Amino acid sequence: MRVIIQNAHLRDGRGDHGAHDLYLQDGVIEGVNLGGKVDETFDAAGRLVTPAFIDLHAHLREPGQEQKEDLASGLAAAAAGGFGTVVSMANTTPPVDDPGVVASLIHKAERLGFARLRPAATLSRGLKGQELTDFAALKDAGAVMITDDGVPVADGHLMRRACEYALDHGLVIQTHSEDPGLRQNGVINEGVVSQRLGLPGNPVAAEAAMIYRDCEIAAMTGARVHIAHVSSKRGMQVVEFFRAQGAPITCEVTPHHLTLTDAVLETFDPIHKVAPPLRTAEDIAFLRDAVRRGVVDSIGTDHAPHTRAEKDRDMVAAPFGIGNIEVTFPLLYTELVEGDGLPLETLLHLLQAGPARVMSWSVPTFEPGQPADLVVLDLEAERAVQPETFKSKAKFSPWEGLSLKGWPMLTFVRGCVAYMSG
Amino acid sequence: MTPTHLLDTQDWSVADVTALFNTADVMAQVMERTIKKVPALQGFTVGTLFFEPSTRTRLSFERAARAQSADVVSFAAGSSSLSKGESLKDTLRTVDAMQADLYVVRHAVSGVPHQLARWTDARIVNAGDGRRAHPTQALLDAYTFQKNFSGFDGFAGKKLAIVGDVLHSRVARSNAELWTKLGAQVTLCGPRTLLPPELEQPNVTLTTNIREAAEGAHAVMALRLQGERMQAGLLPSLAEYRVRFGVTEQVMAHAHPDALVMHPGPINRDVEISGALADSEGSVIEAQVANGVSVRMAVLYMLLVGRK
């Protein structure tokens, strides 16, 4: 199978290469301007062609919660968002704590032909926060990350032992850092808005204190700890404090924490309910600044789909989570690059080389022999977010109707079309 | 134009509230007659949707509806087939099939009346949502003050002190919203664990000192203290609370000489308010209950028929 993408304006981690004809053969990059016979031809005139994005944080809900999402819908949605690789979270039913489940997820995903699946496994057996899972066997089965994401690891001792144990297996520990005692039953950021709306608040201190604990453990053990979804200024300041000391910490921010404040909850629509909660304009400004200053390593979507019925419950009963993987790039391109002066290369870095480095994977480029995972982006045409067209099963969005630029037109995974617009 | 719903009093203008109080005056006269019934809402159906148990407020609304000849259908979450996991929207769909014109909604979680208002064409009256709002309580409190304060000459320059568990109180939030809209000053008072600093705003001050709160107040309102606050680590003991935050004759000595004593009920006698004070001449606690019916009659009338 040989494919040509004509007039491709190429841009990868090494820089901007201008317009060329890009050839893909048998799942890898063959080279540029080679000529010769091809099986399929695509034209990318006027579009940007760049390595497919990497998401280290998505909830694909399989096994057991297929009413919300499954591998087919979730990985198709990822491809539609320009992602070629997804690390799926393990807080499923049952949780992914068994090597056999890891292997079967990978096997199933490979037959689908959408984005690549690289599953995370839980840190604790049954996600119960008591005993460690079999890290070595899980890794052998294909798990790339250890995390109880969705549930904070309350027991500091367990987190310490997980970090120590992970060292010998080269596994990244991702933390959902929120102190359960401080968080209590909070459903929204604690502050002016929560007090006005009379909803139980989740204070910034719950996140900042737990990030501090997890960073201390990383510093003590030397384990590779990736702090998921840092949502607050104070939480990010803790990360910076430890990074300045050279602790082995990396961190992630999400599209929603970079663009939405707690004020959206004034509508009392639980589609905005997420953990950690949406914070304030001051937090957003600080997170964006941290992105600019290179403190942030990756943008993880924390794509967390639920059914509409689950989100049509009251603000306390409705589950936490926002589906966003299909709007992540257009949203951040429009709001941060076009709207807030962030260099495009920084945004691309946080979706490509940034997450690859977090995982110690090779940085994606268009060098011959590299995997032919790439996305064709239209940075010009504006289109409104239309949740009914989502590949994800969660066909609703906090950004419904918002006009955005930067839509993925075409996504290749392993040299084959994983998504085509329209 | 009367607002479509009564979710809170944010989009109710002072003119709306004044019109409501004038209507309540008419309703109060109805309730003084031998035959306490008028045909004003004949043909209308009022549905009471109480997802959280409340006998007093539901009775008050049902009385207000029936005194105007409206039909009443009642839905109580405890006694119905509402099962855990059913979405709010599905519950409403079921109830909506009964074609009520207006729903009176109470729910333990803030915002549910807003959610229901999005999904039905009927009018919604909030009878208490979580910690957020209890607008008819605030309206009847302000109405009671207007009727009972000696030589009432408007809300401007008046001070309302609200004492107790402000954190969990929709009564405190709604009264602060309404009384400041009407021109009064509001002081919220309680132990620091139950007094969120974010509630401070123009004309709303906070203090943990009950004497300071009562100083010169024209009305002092005690809030019910829930027993479970001790278990949640919010208060050390009932005894300590009573000494520092109980509304007593000694506290009232700091208030305006004609100050009214108020309580949204039900009362924990000799916990948040001394029993003698609750029964004293300055207490309008019973008047609050009676006025509750008149004010709720006026709310139903204004939302279903329009301004008089």
SS3 string of B1-66? Answer: CCCCCECCCCCCCHHHHHHHHHHHHHHHHHCCCCCCCCCCCCCCEEEEEECCCCHHHHHHHHHHHH
The phi, psi pair for A124, rounded to 5°, reads -115, 145
CATH topology of domain A52-358: TIM Barrel (3.20.20)
By DSSP bridging, strand A2-12 and strand A15-25 are antiparallel
Strands (E), A13-125: 15-25, 28-32, 40-43, 48-51, 53-58, 83-88, 116-117, 120-121
Q: Looking at the partner chain, which of B107, B111, B115 has a beta carbon nearest the beta carbon of A197?
A: B111
3-state secondary structure of A181: helix
ipTM of the complex: 0.91
Distance CA A136, CA A122 (A): 12
Q: How far is B32 from chain A (nearest CA, A)?
A: 37
B232 in Cβ contact with A181 (< 8 Å): no
Mean pLDDT across the stretch B29-55? 93
In this complex, is the C-beta atom of B130 within 8 Å of any C-beta atom belonging to chain A?
Answer: yes
C-alpha closest to that of A301 among A46, A42, A115: A115
Lookup result for tokens 């004759």: B249
B54 in Cβ contact with B264 (< 8 Å): no
* Residue A9 host element (H or E): strand A2-12
Task: Return the CA Rg of chain B.
Answer: 19
Q: Looking at the partner chain, which of B88, B107, B133 has a beta carbon nearest the beta carbon of A312?
A: B88
- How many other C-beta atoms can be found within 10 angstroms of the C-beta atom of residue A248? 18
Distance CA A330, CA A389 (A): 15
- Does B1 reside within a domain? no
Q: Looking at the partner chain, which of B107, B196, B199 has a beta carbon nearest the beta carbon of A314?
A: B107
Question: B40 and B102, same structural domain?
Answer: yes
Checking if the pLDDT of B80 tops 90, the result is: no
Question: B261 and B154, same structural domain?
Answer: yes
- Active site (annotated) includes residue A378: no
Checking if the pLDDT of B79 tops 60, the result is: no
Q: Provide the terminal-to-terminal Cα distance of chain A, rounded to the nearest Å.
A: 24
CA dihedral for A43, A49, A54, A57, sign (positive or negative): negative
The strands making up B45-50's β-sheet, listed across from edge to edge, are B71-76, B45-50, B102-107, B123-129
Residue B134 annotated as part of some ligand binding site: yes
Question: B112 and B225, same structural domain?
Answer: no
Overall number of domains in chain B = 2
Q: What separation in angstroms does the CA of A285 have from each of A207, A336, A340?
A: 18, 11, 10
Question: B146 and B89, same structural domain?
Answer: no
Mean pLDDT across the stretch A295-299? 98
CA–centroid distance for B30 within its chain? 22
Cβ distance A199 to B132 less than 8 Å, yes or no, reads yes
Question: B148 and B129, same structural domain?
Answer: no
Q: What are the boundaries of each domain within chain A?
A: 2-48+369-420, 52-358
In this complex, is the C-beta atom of B109 within 8 Å of any C-beta atom belonging to chain A?
Answer: yes
Question: B130 and B21, same structural domain?
Answer: yes
Cβ distance B110 to A195 less than 8 Å, yes or no, reads no
Residue B170 annotated as part of some ligand binding site: yes
Residue type, A41: T
In this complex, is the C-beta atom of A319 within 8 Å of any C-beta atom belonging to chain B?
Answer: no
Cβ distance A268 to B112 less than 8 Å, yes or no, reads yes
Checking if the pLDDT of A411 tops 70, the result is: yes
Checking if the pLDDT of A296 tops 70, the result is: yes
In this complex, is the C-beta atom of A312 within 8 Å of any C-beta atom belonging to chain B?
Answer: yes
Q: Looking at the partner chain, which of B89, B90, B110 has a beta carbon nearest the beta carbon of A198?
A: B110
In this complex, is the C-beta atom of B129 within 8 Å of any C-beta atom belonging to chain A?
Answer: yes
Checking if the pLDDT of A208 tops 50, the result is: yes
| Chain B residue whose CA is closest to A266 | B111
3-state secondary structure of B204: strand
Question: B185 and B175, same structural domain?
Answer: yes
Q: What's A190's DSSP letter?
A: S
What CATH number corresponds to the domain at position B257? 3.40.50.1370
**pLDDT over 70 for what percent of chain A?**
100
Cβ distance A309 to B129 less than 8 Å, yes or no, reads no
Q: How far is A264 from chain B (nearest CA, A)?
A: 13
* Interval B82-94: pLDDT, tens: 556 677 888 888 8
- Does B2 reside within a domain? no
Lookup result for tokens 């999400």: A254
Lookup result for tokens 């954190």: B167
What residues does B186 pair with on adjacent strands? B160, B204
Rounded mean pLDDT of chain A? 97
| Chain A residue whose CA is closest to B111 | A268
| Chain B residue whose CA is closest to A309 | B87
Enclosing domain of residue B61: 14-134+289-304
Checking if the pLDDT of B308 tops 60, the result is: no
- How many other C-beta atoms can be found within 10 angstroms of the C-beta atom of residue B108? 16
CA–centroid distance for B254 within its chain? 26
Q: What separation in angstroms does the CA of A37 have from each of A23, A30, A143, A387, B129?
A: 10, 13, 39, 40, 69
Question: B114 and B48, same structural domain?
Answer: yes
Please check whether the domain covering A2-48+369-420 is classified as CATH 2.60.40.10.
Answer: no
User: What is the number of CB-based contacts under 8 A between chain A and chain B?
Assistant: 57
Distance CA A81, CA A295 (A): 24
Q: How far is A105 from chain B (nearest CA, A)?
A: 29
Q: Within 13 A of A349's CA, how many CA atoms are on the CB side?
A: 16
Q: Looking at the partner chain, which of A191, A197, A313 has a beta carbon nearest the beta carbon of B88?
A: A313
- Does B7 reside within a domain? no
Question: B256 and B174, same structural domain?
Answer: yes
Q: Quick one: pLDDT at residue B81?
A: 47
By DSSP bridging, strand B123-129 and strand B102-107 are parallel
Q: How far is A28 from chain B (nearest CA, A)?
A: 48
* Residue B205 host element (H or E): strand B204-207
Mean pLDDT across the stretch A384-395? 98
B157 in Cβ contact with B138 (< 8 Å): no
* Range from A20-34, A360-374, B87-101, B277-291 carrying the lowest mean pLDDT: B87-101
Checking if the pLDDT of A30 tops 70, the result is: yes
Question: B293 and B268, same structural domain?
Answer: no
Cβ distance A198 to B112 less than 8 Å, yes or no, reads no
Question: B107 and B223, same structural domain?
Answer: no
**pLDDT over 90 for what percent of chain B?**
83
Burial class (CB in 10 A: 0-12, 13-18, 19+), A15: exposed
Residue B307 annotated as part of some ligand binding site: no
Rounded mean pLDDT of chain B? 93
Cβ distance B110 to A315 less than 8 Å, yes or no, reads yes
- CB-CB neighbors (< 8 A) of B112 in chain A: 268, 314-315
- Does B159 reside within a domain? yes
Selected catalytic residue, list A12, A70, A98, A302: A302
- Does B126 reside within a domain? yes
